[in-house]
Amino acid sequence: MSAPTTVVSLKIDGKDVSGRADETILDVASENKIHIPTLCFLEGLSGWGACRLCLVEIKGSHKLLSACVTKVAEGMEVTTDSPRLLKYRRMVVQLLFAERNHVCSVCVSNGHCELQNLAQVLGITHIDIPYRYPTLPFDASHDLFRLDHNRCVLCTRCVRVCDEIEGAHTLDVMGRGIDCRVIIDLNEPWGSSQTCTTCGKCVRVCPTGALTRKGTGVAEMEKDDQFLPYLTRMRGSQS
Amino acid sequence: MTAEELETIAQEEREACGRKKHHLHVCMAAGCLSSCSDRVKDALEAQVKAAGLEEHCQVKPVGCMGLCAAGPLVSVADQNVMYKEVTPDDAADIVGALKTQQPVQRLHCRMDVPFFARQKKIVLENCGVIDPERIEEYIAAGGYTALHQALTSMNTAEVIAEVSRSGLRGRGGAGYPTGLKWSMVAKAGGATKYVICNADEGDPGAFMDRSVLESDPHRVLEGMAIAAYAVGASRGYIYVRAEYPLAVKRLKIAIRQAEKQGLLGHNIFGTPLSFEIDIRLGAGAYVCGEETALIASIEGERGQPRPRPPFPAESGLWGAPTLINNVETFANIPPIIRQGGQWYAAIGTEKSKGTKTFALAGKVNNTGLIEVPMGITLREIIYDMGGGIPDGKKFKAVQTGGPSGGCIPEQFLDMPVDYDSLVKVGSIMGSGGMIIMDETSSMVDVARYFMEFCMTESCGKCVPCRVGTVQMHDLLTKIIDRKATVRDLALLEELCDMVRNTSLCGLGQNAPNAVLSTLRYFRNEYDELLVEDDAEPALADAGAKENAS
């Protein structure tokens, strides 16, 4: 017999909804077709709470909380959309654009990029924040894949999928603050990695053009991360 | 170990001490050591030997005496005399003066000045009095009796009630009620629980925890053991930064001694309580002072914060309920148990009880460590105790709370120092760093300095802190370089608001404080640096527009 499930009722954007106590605000919102923008979140991976796009207002709390990691609670009153939240979300996306060298017109992921989509959805027509134009390396040493730091947003989806789903933990992050960078093993060229299984999951979950498959044109570089919920579910049913 | 054995150790120690007529205390904490107090101690020992006074005179290494600006410090405990700026060459005169009872005038440091007289020492009561490397001295000063009392005559609820009654609030900076935190961990389910002491003190200009660990490490161990009993933990960690080698060394010695005496380990005082403490060294990341990042670091992960809730009290180290308190918080526990929460609550203000240690630094005559009752005014601290501003300069602002805090201008000097008043004027209590600035400091420079600190210490996990701090730093640099316009300042203010409200942890949330508080009180200094708006920025925007689309 499975443990009893605690069910709670709450309000999201004024709508009465129900949820299991182990669900996040984002889970319950998507069940109810309430859209909250996300970037570092990906169904099937552990919550990370780092991009701050899914911040929501909760009545009684003076702090904004990320919907992807905050569990629902009885009587909670959540606001997912307000002028203030929209302003902050726009700034997050702008900060990301200004951080590295995101030039959509020459990007292999143009048209299939989650950062680009976010900018469109949030109505960002230009970037008010000065571009930083850092000089960043590019790793094309792997037979099949490329890692372009210029287009990385440090969402760590690749790091998490490699560790949690593939179990290889080839990818991780080094450095601090603005100097953070996704690395292969102990900062080695991808092509010489002994741990990479060449499964390609990292490429499939990458929201931007930072991780791409070689030999694909702009129109073909469609990311497909729908395998993830399936894999997680199947693994869960095995254990 | 039993109460009788504890008393025997204390008795023997007091008798051994009583056999000596003179007691020369030499400060051997980091401040005085850096000006060679170890050589002063050697010279004093040699002179005592030469004068044939070995039988009557004890030369003892002790912890911090507070007035670090005038180190190395030596005190003659039996004559209540303190000497400042002592060199090895002065040893002969000091030993010579023992007989005449006439202090050496050129070295004499008066003890009746406000710097010493206005202090109320609870946390620092043993600092500069006992040898931090000998457990016997701590026991002779009443050490470990609070642990015995808690374990043998109080149940866990009574211990927590006593801490709650004291009104003690977290001394790490945020001021969360300690008793409430303890009761949450005590109530949390699970067989395994942890107690963590946060000794990752990293604010620029702050050295309170360092002094406590270097001068009286057993006090922290005792506080942790009492906490372990109260919340039901059997394992503790002290997370101390590796930049404090002397504190680490003395902690290690203290833990070994306490284990040997049966004051840590299995069945402490013959009760069911078993508690072991391990040290974990921080590798130099400021953000690891944030509790969830600290926990990640102990677990061997990258030192990055996790979203809260869940709070560590519910799910902390390895998912188990975890109590995290700061060094000074734990150091307050033994006296609270010994003398009662009521006694502690009588000190301080209505909402901020007890005392607080502050590290005075910057443009103030008496730099050093002080412990004062809450509610004392900034003016009393800076002018009476600190001796005012050197070289006849004018006071400009005092920075409290480290990089997370803010700058307080002259008009608030008569404000009482407590958690809520400091927040009201845009700063925070913080861990107790107090940097005093005179008229020569540019407040925009100060803001940039703290922003640079936050920028380089950002872990890089969340976007607002990782990128926002860099953008704010660049804008501040632009202002200082006299290249910024009104629009840049407006963007800076917008970023401040956004980073403060959207960052994942306290580091990012408080990073804009230095800018916000200086803008609030010294806006004219920013305005003076701005230049006229011209057509250039508009062109730059047009370039960015193309990139994004």
Quote the pLDDT of residue B204: 86
Beta strands in B254-332 (DSSP E): 276-282, 322-326
| Each residue's pLDDT tens digit, B417-432 | 999 999 999 888 888 8
Amino acid at the residue A28: V
Mean pLDDT calculated for residue range A119-140: 94
Q: A180 and B460 in contact by Cβ < 8 A?
A: yes
Q: Tokens in use for B229?
A: 């009993």
* Model confidence band, residue B549 (pLDDT cutoffs 50, 70, 90): very low
Gap between the Cα atoms of B387 and B364, Å rounded: 7
From the list B469, B474, B498, the residue facing A88 with the nearest CB is B498
Last residue of a domain, one of B425, B441, B457: B441
Quote the pLDDT of residue B534: 64
The CA-atom distances, in angstroms, between B46 and each of B17, B78, B101, B131, B484 are: 20, 20, 20, 19, 63
Mean pLDDT calculated for residue range B71-98: 92
| Whether residue B332 sits in one domain with residue B201 | yes
> Looking at the whole model, is its pTM more than 0.90?
yes
| Whether residue B454 sits in one domain with residue B397 | no
User: What does residue A164 show for φ and ψ, rounded to 5 degrees?
Assistant: -80, -35
Which residue carries 């109260």 as its tokens?
B230
Q: Tokens in use for A65?
A: 């909380």
Position with higher pLDDT, A221 vs B388: B388
Mean pLDDT calculated for residue range A159-167: 95
Quote the pLDDT of residue A221: 75
Residues of A with Cβ-Cβ distance to B498 under 8 angstroms: 87-88, 91-92
| Whether residue B469 sits in one domain with residue B428 | no
Gap between the Cα atoms of A26 and A71, Å rounded: 9
| Whether residue B365 sits in one domain with residue B237 | no
Gap between the Cα atoms of B180 and A65, Å rounded: 23
Quote the pLDDT of residue A2: 58
Residue B85 has pLDDT above 80, yes or no: yes
Mean pLDDT calculated for residue range B55-73: 92
If we measure between CA atoms, which residue out of B440, B450, B512, B447 comes closest to residue B480? B447
- Residue B502 near chain A (CB below 8 Å): yes
Give a yes or no: residue B542 inside a domain: no
Q: B548 and A178 in contact by Cβ < 8 A?
A: no
Q: A92 and B463 in contact by Cβ < 8 A?
A: yes
Gap between the Cα atoms of B476 and A222, Å rounded: 41
Residue in chain B lying closest to A99 (CA): B467
| Each residue's pLDDT tens digit, B414-468 | 999 999 999 999 888 888 889 999 999 999 999 999 999 999 999 999 999 999 9
Give a yes or no: residue B539 inside a domain: no
Residues of B with Cβ-Cβ distance to A98 under 8 angstroms: 467, 471, 544
Q: A91 and B494 in contact by Cβ < 8 A?
A: yes
Q: Tokens in use for A217?
A: 């044109």
- Residue B466 near chain A (CB below 8 Å): yes
Q: A119 and B306 in contact by Cβ < 8 A?
A: no
Quote the pLDDT of residue B306: 94
* Model confidence band, residue B93 (pLDDT cutoffs 50, 70, 90): very high
Identify the bridge partners of residue B357 per DSSP, sorted by sequence position.
B371
Residues of B with Cβ-Cβ distance to A51 under 8 angstroms: 462-463
Task: Map residue A162 onto helix, strand or coil.
Answer: helix
- Give the distance from residue A179's alpha carbon to the nearest chain B alpha carbon, in angstroms: 8
| Whether residue B419 sits in one domain with residue B278 | no
Quote the pLDDT of residue A239: 47
Q: A102 and B547 in contact by Cβ < 8 A?
A: yes
| Whether residue B406 sits in one domain with residue B515 | no
Give a yes or no: residue B229 inside a domain: yes
Beta strands in B286-432 (DSSP E): 322-326, 355-362, 368-373, 395-400, 406-409
* Model confidence band, residue B539 (pLDDT cutoffs 50, 70, 90): very low
Residue in chain A lying closest to B460 (CA): A177
Give a yes or no: residue B254 inside a domain: yes
Query: In chain B, what is the straight-line distance between the N-terminal and C-terminal CA atoms, in Å?
Result: 74
Q: Which domain holds residue B56?
A: 20-111
- Residue B285 near chain A (CB below 8 Å): yes
Q: What is the DSSP letter of A30?
A: H
Residues forming CATH 3.10.20.740 domain(s) in chain A: 7-80
Quote the pLDDT of residue B329: 97
Task: Map residue B218 onto helix, strand or coil.
Answer: helix
- Residue B133 near chain A (CB below 8 Å): no
Quote the pLDDT of residue B141: 95
From the list A104, A129, A131, the residue facing B549 with the nearest CB is A104
Residues in contact with B150: Cβ distance below 8 Å, sequence separation at least 6, in sequence order: B159, B226, B229, B230, B337
- Give the distance from residue A227's alpha carbon to the nearest chain B alpha carbon, in angstroms: 26
Task: Count up the domains in chain B and report the number.
Answer: 4
Residues B87 and B44 sit within 8 Å (Cβ to Cβ)? no
- Residue B191 near chain A (CB below 8 Å): no
From the list A104, A126, A177, the residue facing B466 with the nearest CB is A177
Give a yes or no: residue B368 inside a domain: yes
- Residue B308 near chain A (CB below 8 Å): no
Quote the pLDDT of residue A1: 47
Q: What is the CATH number of the domain that holds B454?
A: 1.20.1440.230
- Please compute Rg for chain B using Cα positions: 25
Residue A211 has pLDDT above 90, yes or no: yes
Give a yes or no: residue B123 inside a domain: no
- Give the distance from residue B539's alpha carbon to the nearest chain A alpha carbon, in angstroms: 12
- Residue B484 near chain A (CB below 8 Å): no
| Whether residue B201 sits in one domain with residue B153 | yes
Sheet containing B74-76: order of strands: B57-62, B22-27, B74-76, B81-83, B108-109
Sheet containing A55-58: order of strands: A15-20, A7-12, A77-79, A55-58, A65-66
Residues B451 and B525 sit within 8 Å (Cβ to Cβ)? no
Mean pLDDT calculated for residue range A146-156: 96
Residues in contact with A208: Cβ distance below 8 Å, sequence separation at least 6, in sequence order: A102, A107, A109, A113, A114, A115, A151, A152, A153
| Whether residue B293 sits in one domain with residue B261 | yes
> What count of Cα atoms within 13 Å lies in the side-chain half-sphere of residue B229?
34
Q: What is the CATH number of the domain that holds B389?
A: 3.10.20.600
Q: A130 and B501 in contact by Cβ < 8 A?
A: no
Architecture per CATH, A7-80: Roll (3.10)
Residues of B with Cβ-Cβ distance to A176 under 8 angstroms: 285, 456-460
Q: What is the CATH number of the domain that holds B104?
A: 3.40.30.10
- Which one of 3.30.70.20, 3.30.2350.10, 3.40.50.300, 3.40.190.10 gives the CATH number of domain A86-225? 3.30.70.20
| Whether residue B427 sits in one domain with residue B413 | yes
Residues of B with Cβ-Cβ distance to A104 under 8 angstroms: 547-549
Q: B307 and A49 in contact by Cβ < 8 A?
A: yes
User: What does residue B37 show for φ and ψ, rounded to 5 degrees?
Assistant: -70, -20
Q: B464 and A95 in contact by Cβ < 8 A?
A: yes
The CA-atom distances, in angstroms, between A169 and each of A183, A214, B60, B269, B297 are: 11, 22, 54, 47, 18
| Whether residue B494 sits in one domain with residue B402 | no
Length of chain B: 549
pLDDT above 70 as % of chain B: 97
- Residue B495 near chain A (CB below 8 Å): yes
Mean pLDDT of chain A: 93
Residues B66 and B124 sit within 8 Å (Cβ to Cβ)? yes
Residues of B with Cβ-Cβ distance to A124 under 8 angstroms: 548
Quote the pLDDT of residue B542: 47
- Would you call B267 exposed, middle or buried from its count of C-beta atoms within 10 A (0-12, 13-18, 19+)? exposed
- Give the distance from residue A171's alpha carbon to the nearest chain B alpha carbon, in angstroms: 13
- Residue B17 near chain A (CB below 8 Å): no
- Give the distance from residue B494's alpha carbon to the nearest chain A alpha carbon, in angstroms: 9
Quote the pLDDT of residue B189: 87
Gap between the Cα atoms of B359 and B372, Å rounded: 11
Q: B549 and A47 in contact by Cβ < 8 A?
A: no
- As a three-state string, the secondary structure of B413-482 is CCCECCHHHHHHCCCCCCCCEEEEEECCCCHHHHHHHHHHHHHHHCCCCCHHHHHHHHHHHHHHHHHHCC
Gap between the Cα atoms of B458 and B461, Å rounded: 8
Residues 382-441 of B with CB under 8 A from A: none
Residues of A with Cβ-Cβ distance to B306 under 8 angstroms: 49
Residue B513 has pLDDT above 70, yes or no: yes
From the list A52, A66, A127, the residue facing B548 with the nearest CB is A127
Residue in chain A lying closest to B463 (CA): A51
Residue A236 has pLDDT above 80, yes or no: no
Q: B547 and A92 in contact by Cβ < 8 A?
A: no
Residue in chain B lying closest to A62 (CA): B501
Length of chain A: 239
Mean pLDDT calculated for residue range B375-389: 94
Last residue of a domain, one of B92, B111, B130: B111
| Whether residue B373 sits in one domain with residue B329 | no
Beta strands in B34-73 (DSSP E): 57-62
Q: What is the DSSP letter of B200?
A: -
Q: Which of B478, B485, B498 to mutate: most A Cβ within 10 Å?
A: B498
Position with higher pLDDT, B294 vs B98: B294
Give a yes or no: residue B339 inside a domain: yes
Quote the pLDDT of residue B205: 83
Quote the pLDDT of residue B535: 53
| Whether residue B336 sits in one domain with residue B459 | no
Calculate the CA B73 to chain-centre distance: 21
- Give the distance from residue B545's alpha carbon to the nearest chain A alpha carbon, in angstroms: 4
| Each residue's pLDDT tens digit, B139-188 | 999 999 999 999 999 999 999 999 999 999 999 888 999 999 999 999 99
Residues forming CATH 3.30.70.20 domain(s) in chain A: 86-225
Residue B537 has pLDDT above 60, yes or no: no
Q: Are strands B74-76 and B194-199 parallel, antiparallel or unpaired?
A: unpaired
Calculate the CA B334 to chain-centre distance: 17
Last residue of a domain, one of B322, B345, B368: B345
Residue B280 has pLDDT above 70, yes or no: yes
Q: What is the CATH number of the domain that holds B239?
A: 3.40.50.11540
From the list A64, A127, A176, the residue facing B501 with the nearest CB is A64
- Give the distance from residue B341's alpha carbon to the nearest chain A alpha carbon, in angstroms: 31
Residues of B with Cβ-Cβ distance to A64 under 8 angstroms: 501-502
Mean pLDDT of chain B: 93
Give a yes or no: residue B134 inside a domain: no
Quote the pLDDT of residue A190: 97
From the list A64, A127, A131, the residue facing B502 with the nearest CB is A64
